[in-house]
Structure formats: C-alpha cells, structure tokens
Amino acid sequence: MAIHQLNIDDFLNQADSYPVLDVRSPAEFAHAHIPNAHSFPIFSNEERAEIGTAYKQCSREAAIKIGFKAFGSRLNDYVEAAEKICSRNNKEILVYCWRGGMRSSAMAWLLDFYGFEVGLLDGGYKSYRNTVLKSFEKSYPFLVLGGKTGSGKTDILKELAKKGYAVLDLEDLACHKGSAFGDIPGRKQPGQEQFENMLHQALRKLTLEQPSTIFVEDESQRIGQVNLPGSLYQRIRNGRQLYLDIPFAARLEYILQDYASVPTAELIAAILRIKKRLGPLESKTAINYLLEDDKQACFDILLQYYDKQYTKSLANRAIQLDIILLEKVHTETNTNHILDRLAQQS
C-alpha cells in the first residue's frame, strides 16, 4: 500500500470518511484531540515520560531505544486494534501525533507494512490547532437569535436545524445551557481546547455547505466553564439580531416547566453561585421560596435578575434589533414567525 503526507485541509476532508488514529499518549488525548478521533496511543503516559527524560538527560539515541522496546513488543496488538476500527472491506486510515514526527511515522510505517492505506497529518496536532485558531478570525453569515431568558431560543434553533437550516448550537457544543442554572444532566462540559476543536468542526461543516445564513443564539462569552474565542464572540455579538419579545409571564411559565424536575438542592447551589450579583436579600428570599416549595415565586426573582442583565448587555452594544413580538413561548409557532419575517425581508 502507501503512506500519504496530507496537509490539514486534505486530512480533515478525508477524516469525514475514514477513521482517525491519535497516537499521542492517553493524557494528551484526554486533554484535547481532533473530534471523532480514536485514542490509539503508541506509548502510555509513563512510557512517554520515561522516553522524554532519556532524551533530555541522555541522548536522542537512548530515547529511541527505549521507544523501540515498548513499540516492538506490541506490533501485533496495534495491527489487530486498527483492523477492529476499520471496516472489513476498507483498510484506509489516518494517523497523527503531536508534530507529525516519530510517533505517527512509526505507526504509519507499521500499518502500511501490514497493508493499510495510511494518511499522515503533516505537522500533526500542532498544525491542526493552528488551523482551529485561525478559523475563528473568519467572517461567517451569522443571524443572531436574541431575546431575554426563557424565550425558548435554543428550542427554536433545534427546530430550524430539523427544517434543514444552518445552525450553530453553542450550548449543545458546550454541553451547558449558558447560565448558573445551565448544567445539562448526564453531559460533562469539554475542556476549553476541546470545546474550540468542536466549535471549529461545526463551523467547518457549515462552511462546506455554504449557507447564506447561519442561525446562532445570542450568548454570553462564557458558557459554563468554557469561553467563546474572542474574535468569534465579537462577530456574533455585533451581528444582525432577530429579537424575540415575549411577555414576562409567558417566559416565567416556560422556565417553570423547564426546571420542574431539577432537585431543590441543585437550584439552591446555582443561586449561591450568583449571590454576589443577585444580592444577599434577593438570594435569601429566592432560596426561602424554594424551601417552601414555591418555585414560581423563586423564579420570578431570578428572571427579573436575568432580564436586567440582558437589557444591560444590549445597551452596551451598537446594534439595531429586528424585533418580533410574540405572545407566548411555542417552538413551532415562533419558528414560523421568524421564517415569515425573513421571507418578507428577502
């Protein structure tokens, strides 16, 4: 077969069709990796540390010999594991390490020798990360969906996606709903670097489809424990915005339904996280309402707080809002209102 050196664009294009092996250590992979790649470490964390120490304290040759001992003892294991990852009738596979150096070259040699068609990422993960960061400097045709907390913006984005429209769902990528109450049960937030990798993947996919509009929600820069890259955040923040203007009572009803099953202890913990901004009296009052099993009174206080925060944020931005007046929070109805507005403007 053959080994093909691939630039980052060709590598990512082929990654849509063929399995990708990340041959860095498990710790490196856990920190961040190319989305959908398989962890396929050529060395364990301990072996990598030992080889690195030998390289620094002894010589390059000494480090290579240690690597040979570990690598050589597992050749058959690597081949069998790669076969399980590939389909029966397809032996095309992609490989990368940190800089496209010895680790990926050794694995590529082995798989090629056995009979795989191997694509090797030129420059490795480091090259990939440079591409990720540069992608956030580009212009995208964002149409920002705005509105105060409880307007059902995320549900509308999902409905638009189901209808075939281009959508960048930041909360889904971040595994967080974007407020102190935003943890999504059963989903752990990615680290910052992995979030950026996933964000790049989503933008790349949308760009390949060449949409005239990409719908995105008006978010704070910080979503849970991760941050939107600064340049991308500014493009979203200053983009054209459709503002959903829905009455307070309707939004409160929607929030109560959304958080009806959340345990009281978790809600109290969330209130304590915003205590300094909410204020000691309001925080105490909201918690007391929860303890009295009066979620409506509690969320009335919280929604007023988030409304003030959002209004303040809009006041600091030089943008014109395209306001859509809506009576209630209803995903399908409000999605159709948005599409009707856009049709009128086209």
Q: Please identify every residue annotated as catalytic.
A: 97
Please tell me the distance from the alpha carbon of residue 200 to that of residue 306, in angstroms, as a whole number: 29
- Is residue 336 helix, strand or coil? helix
173's torsion region: left (phi>0), alpha (psi -120 to 50) or beta? Answer: alpha
Residue reference for tokens 């009738």: 89
* 3-state SS class at 146: strand
What end-to-end distance do the CA atoms of the chain give, in Å?
53
Residue 187 CB-density burial (10 A; 0-12 exposed, 13-18 middle, 19+ buried):
exposed
Q: What is the DSSP string of 206-231?
A: HHHH--S-EEEE---SEETTEE--HH
Q: 6 pairs with which residues across the strands?
A: 121
Rounded to an integer, what distance in angstroms lies between the CA atom of residue 173 and that of residue 159?
17
**Residue 40 near residue 22, CB atoms below 8 Å:** yes
